[in-house]
Chains A and B, each alone.
Chain A
Amino acid sequence: MEEKLKAEDFNTSCRPTWCPGCGDFVIWQAVKVALAELNIAPHNSIITYGVGCISNMNNNIKTYAFHSLHGRAIPVAVGAKLANHKMTVLSIAGDGGTYGEGANHLIHASRYNSNITNIVANNHSYSLTTGQSSPTSKKGYKTKTTPWGEVKRPVNPISLVLSAGATFVARGFAGDLEHLKEIIKAGIKHNGFSHIDVMQQCVTFNKEQTVDYFRKKIYKLENEENYDIKNKLMAFEKAEETTKVPIGIFYKKSHPTYESTFPQLEKESLIEKPVGGIKFSDLS
């Protein structure tokens, strides 16, 4: 009998470099446990990363990993999945890369319905560059680049990807490992673009949005009576709530994945196909 995978099987020889108390530790653990519980062996998944605190996780999870550029975790994942749709593909990055520099990729990967799981460590700050305001920072947020407080309004990640066409939209919380892990598992299992925004504290630069702050603010969607995750309008309503903030799965819909729309990928993945063997005389 095969031994069951454990979170430790995904460890590498490198230790994380995050600040003590950082939410990234929880996300790290949640991803490892999710992969282990789904029995996805390290060599059968690809994780792409952007650039930022969370994206340094490339050194700390043993899978096939691609540490790309700031904002570019998603397109690398989209391409990898097209080349080998038999792999489990995740992209992991922060709020700056995903909702700022790489927002166009987020919109379009949602629209393609690429079968990847996109996890965003949303700490409302550019922390690796010492805490500047990010696309999700609250109005009034004071940083080195916003000495009088942020004047721009924050993007709403849930509404954004809902309208872009993502077929699995969820929000997790880095203060609740068990809950987050279950969302990640559901996201990986979902056939289509799964977007998981993870509310997260930055213990070093964001003194306002702490773990306690979030804990008081959140409630769980799965405890809501009559909430229908198939109802997009309901999802939009929940996404726009600000006083209390729901976590859990907002929306889930069955829709053909991008990869499944290529009939040439029906029998085998692209990389299983022979390379070469076509002659000039074969071409029309």
Chain B
Amino acid sequence: MRYSWKIGGPAGYGIKSAGAIFTKAFLKKGLNVFYYSEYPSLIRGGHNTVQVDISDEKVRSSSQKISFLIALDDLTVKMDKGYLRKGGVLIYDENSIQDKKNLPKENVYGIPFSDIAKEAGGLLLRNTVALGASFAFFGCRLKELEKAIEITFEKKDEKIIKENVAAAKAGYNYAKKTFSFNPVEFFDVVRSSKGKRSMTGNEAAAMGAIVGGLKFYAAYPMTPATAILHYLAKHQRDYDLVVHQGEDEIGVIHEAIGASFAGARSMVGTSGGGFALMGEGFSLSGMTETPLVIAEVMRPSPASGLPTWTDQGDLSFVLNSGHGDFPRAVFAPGDPEEAYELIQEALNVSEHYQMPVVFLSDKFLGESKYTISSSRLRDIKIKIDRGEIISKVGKDYKRYLNERSGISSRVFPGTEGGEHVANSDEHDSHGFTVEGFTKDRTIQMNKRQRKMAALKKEMKLPKIFGPKNADISFVSWGSNKGPILDALESADYKIGKGKQSANYIHFTHIYPLPLGVKKILKQANRLILVECNQSAQFGKLLAQEFGIKIKEKILKYDSRPFWPEEITQYFNVHKIDKTLKSLWKKN
């Protein structure tokens, strides 16, 4: 069973905190929840929403259709009523909705949220009043909501908790007294909530980085990557790392490179625009073979794009960023669990292979709250690999010794006899600049590139969800995992009118792609590429690496993540095998 609840209103109306309380309450009930928020890049006004999808099974996406909508303003009615599912309920603030003509005809309930809030302690409590009313409609117990309020505000003033509890109660009582409504039955089953918690992709990345031995993090605030900076900044003293907010992204990447050169496990975080500024530093990390992880949390670009929305349009950019040929790796997690694991792998690869590694996430994964199992994360154990570091140096140390593996040993400043130049100019094996024509150029270029051969073997093959030899194979990467799996699981991996079997080939190790990928894709019966970008950037990579061109594509780039419905709908709109046109892209 799946139920989706959404609340909308202007910024400053407590939309996000209402969503957070709601999420906590249902987690406590032992249900699975998925919190997704949409908000414009402003501090007051605009159209802000939180949608919480609740299920007794796994849920890792936001559905297109809304079961229950709370409108705190006219704009929410206008923007979201069209997404109400058949029989879906809309409750609205009677005190602030002006245009009653716009309201749907059925299942609509007006409640004076503002008046009730004022009575309970202040207008700002209208979000909590709405939460109370929701609980009455669901037939849930008020106690459960009160508990969630207490947990949410436990670090705040006692008064805040009291007022919110009073507001919730007032909303609950008003709705219960005034309306009658069939309870949502699956909410009522008693379940254990043990080990369940909600976590965003950004939190998981920050936590994984700490567990993975991160020592130095530098960043310049940029949505939607900033939550990683917030988390690490807050906890730096507890877990013994240094977090530096730099002067700009150019400074940030060079500061991290300096720290890494001096011996600290280092990472930076940003979004596409910030990574654009980091381009020269990215190349510098490649040339000097200074380990570095770059967490790039994508938002729709070009330029400032849509700062608070989602997209996967930076894949080609990170694959090709930085002047010159140099090795790199790209990882892309599909959910917080993978984020937690992959950031640790990224740190290991960066230090083992002495190269820049991109951890590519997006707003949808970074800022949505997933339900995760703590024990699953506890079970993820990745050994820290710092690569070859020598602490006793013999005679004539060569930082860039032409090793067969391409990996030369590192030595950190402070070690006697290990003095050398980490050089952005082309250099010889000692690191000294080479000018004019020498064979060192080719030697060092080949040495650096040789690292890719071993790395390729280490990169993991995509995970296949569903039946092995399916009629249809969806191919995708990153955060699309959630909507695709939700769609396929709800259809029992049988899709379309003919109930064809379907599976999902999920890529997390994006570059360099391991060789086995070709075989997997060649064996598939029918491939459909799913990406949140305009030009099928991962598809281009598959074509470039293996000559595999996936003609059938579902591409979305309207700034929203996929809804699971869009995956299943594809088969209602398209006659199977006849048309290669996607839903969103003509030609």
B170 at the interface (CB under 8 A from A): no
Does B377 contact A280, Cβ atoms closer than 8 Å? yes
Knowing A59-B432, A83-B264 are in contact, say whether A281-B378 is a contact too (CB < 8 A). yes
Mark the stretch among A100-108, A144-152, A236-244 that contacts chain B. Answer: A100-108
Does B419 contact A273, Cβ atoms closer than 8 Å? no
CA distance A91 to B260 in the complex (A): 16
Does A64 contact B413, Cβ atoms closer than 8 Å? yes
Does B259 contact A83, Cβ atoms closer than 8 Å? yes
Does A68 contact B414, Cβ atoms closer than 8 Å? no
Does B384 contact A275, Cβ atoms closer than 8 Å? yes
CA distance A83 to B241 in the complex (A): 10
A15 to chain B, nearest CB (A): 11
The interface centre, meaning the residue of A78, A82, A108 with most chain B CB atoms within 10 A of its CB, is: A82
Q: Contacts of B247 on A, CB cut-off 8 Å?
A: 75, 104-105, 107-108
A34 at the interface (CB under 8 A from B): no
Does A83 contact B246, Cβ atoms closer than 8 Å? no
Does B256 contact A79, Cβ atoms closer than 8 Å? yes
Knowing A82-B244, A104-B248, A280-B374 are in contact, say whether A270-B215 is a contact too (CB < 8 A). yes
A43 at the interface (CB under 8 A from B): yes
A186 at the interface (CB under 8 A from B): no
Which A residue sits closest to B380, measured CB to CB? A280
Q: Contacts of A107 on B, CB cut-off 8 Å?
A: 247
Among B216, B384, B425, contact of A270 (Cβ-Cβ < 8 Å): B216
B502 at the interface (CB under 8 A from A): no
1-53 of chain A: CB within 8 A of chain B? 12-14, 17, 41-46, 48, 51
B289 to chain A, nearest CB (A): 12
A264 at the interface (CB under 8 A from B): yes
Does B386 contact A275, Cβ atoms closer than 8 Å? yes
Among B212, B237, B413, B423, contact of A67 (Cβ-Cβ < 8 Å): B423
Among B258, B266, B419, B432, contact of A63 (Cβ-Cβ < 8 Å): B419
Q: Contacts of A263 on B, CB cut-off 8 Å?
A: 237
Among B258, B281, B384, B420, contact of A83 (Cβ-Cβ < 8 Å): B258
269-297 of chain B: CB within 8 A of chain A? 280-281, 284, 288
A77 at the interface (CB under 8 A from B): yes
CA distance A108 to B245 in the complex (A): 11
A205 at the interface (CB under 8 A from B): no
Count of B interface residues, CB-CB < 8 Å: 65
CA distance A12 to B423 in the complex (A): 15
CA distance A83 to B432 in the complex (A): 24
Q: Contacts of A139 on B, CB cut-off 8 Å?
A: none
Among B216, B238, B248, B250, contact of A79 (Cβ-Cβ < 8 Å): B216
Does A83 contact B251, Cβ atoms closer than 8 Å? no
CA distance A19 to B364 in the complex (A): 57
CA distance A83 to B255 in the complex (A): 10
CA distance A270 to B215 in the complex (A): 7
Contact mask for chain B residues 173-190; partner A; CB cutoff 8 A; 1 contact, 0 none: 000000000000000000
A271 at the interface (CB under 8 A from B): yes
B111 to chain A, nearest CB (A): 37
Q: Contacts of A81 on B, CB cut-off 8 Å?
A: 258, 262
Contact mask for chain A residues 227-263; partner B; CB cutoff 8 A; 1 contact, 0 none: 0000000000000000000000000000000000011
Q: Contacts of A104 on B, CB cut-off 8 Å?
A: 247-248, 250-251
Total A-B pairs in contact (CB under 8 Å)?
202
A76 at the interface (CB under 8 A from B): yes
B553 at the interface (CB under 8 A from A): no
Q: Contacts of A124 on B, CB cut-off 8 Å?
A: none
CA distance A275 to B377 in the complex (A): 19
Knowing A67-B421, A79-B216, A79-B258 are in contact, say whether A270-B264 is a contact too (CB < 8 A). yes
A194 at the interface (CB under 8 A from B): no
Knowing A80-B413, A264-B236 are in contact, say whether A69-B424 is a contact too (CB < 8 A). yes
Among A44, A65, A281, contact of B421 (Cβ-Cβ < 8 Å): A65
137-188 of chain A: CB within 8 A of chain B? none
Does A278 contact B211, Cβ atoms closer than 8 Å? yes
Q: Contacts of A44 on B, CB cut-off 8 Å?
A: 413-414
A163 to chain B, nearest CB (A): 16
The interface centre, meaning the residue of B244, B284, B424, B433 with most chain A CB atoms within 10 A of its CB, is: B424
CA distance A63 to B384 in the complex (A): 29
Does A79 contact B254, Cβ atoms closer than 8 Å? yes
Does A271 contact B263, Cβ atoms closer than 8 Å? yes
Among B250, B252, B384, contact of A276 (Cβ-Cβ < 8 Å): B384
A265 at the interface (CB under 8 A from B): yes
Knowing A43-B417, A80-B262, A104-B247 are in contact, say whether A66-B207 is a contact too (CB < 8 A). no
CA distance A58 to B419 in the complex (A): 11
Does A82 contact B259, Cβ atoms closer than 8 Å? yes
Q: Contacts of B418 on A, CB cut-off 8 Å?
A: 43, 64
CA distance A82 to B257 in the complex (A): 11
Among B246, B340, B414, contact of A84 (Cβ-Cβ < 8 Å): B414
CA distance A76 to B259 in the complex (A): 7
CA distance A280 to B375 in the complex (A): 9
A86 at the interface (CB under 8 A from B): yes
B235 at the interface (CB under 8 A from A): yes
CA distance A274 to B207 in the complex (A): 17
Does A68 contact B284, Cβ atoms closer than 8 Å? yes
B320 at the interface (CB under 8 A from A): no
Knowing A79-B254, A108-B247 are in contact, say whether A59-B215 is a contact too (CB < 8 A). no
CA distance A109 to B451 in the complex (A): 35
B584 at the interface (CB under 8 A from A): no
The interface centre, meaning the residue of B384, B417, B421 with most chain A CB atoms within 10 A of its CB, is: B421
217-271 of chain B: CB within 8 A of chain A? 218, 235-242, 244, 246-248, 250-252, 254-266
A195 at the interface (CB under 8 A from B): no
Q: List 24 A-B contacts (CB under 8 A).
A: A12-B432, A42-B419, A58-B433, A62-B419, A65-B422, A66-B288, A66-B422, A69-B424, A76-B254, A76-B261, A79-B257, A80-B413, A104-B250, A105-B250, A108-B247, A264-B236, A264-B237, A264-B241, A270-B215, A273-B240, A275-B384, A278-B211, A280-B374, A280-B377
Binding site for A on B (CB under 8 A): 207, 210-213, 215-216, 218, 235-242, 244, 246-248, 250-252, 254-266, 280-281, 284, 288, 340, 374, 377-378, 380, 384, 386, 412-425, 431-433, 435
Q: Name 5 extra pairs, CB < 8 A, besides A68-B284, A264-B241.
A: A13-B432, A56-B433, A67-B423, A79-B254, A83-B263
Binding site for B on A (CB under 8 A): 12-14, 17, 41-46, 48, 51, 56, 58-59, 62-69, 72, 75-84, 86-87, 104-105, 107-108, 262-265, 270-271, 273-276, 278-284
Q: 10 tightest A-B contacts by CB?
A: A79-B258, A79-B255, A75-B254, A108-B247, A83-B262, A76-B258, A64-B413, A83-B264, A271-B263, A83-B259
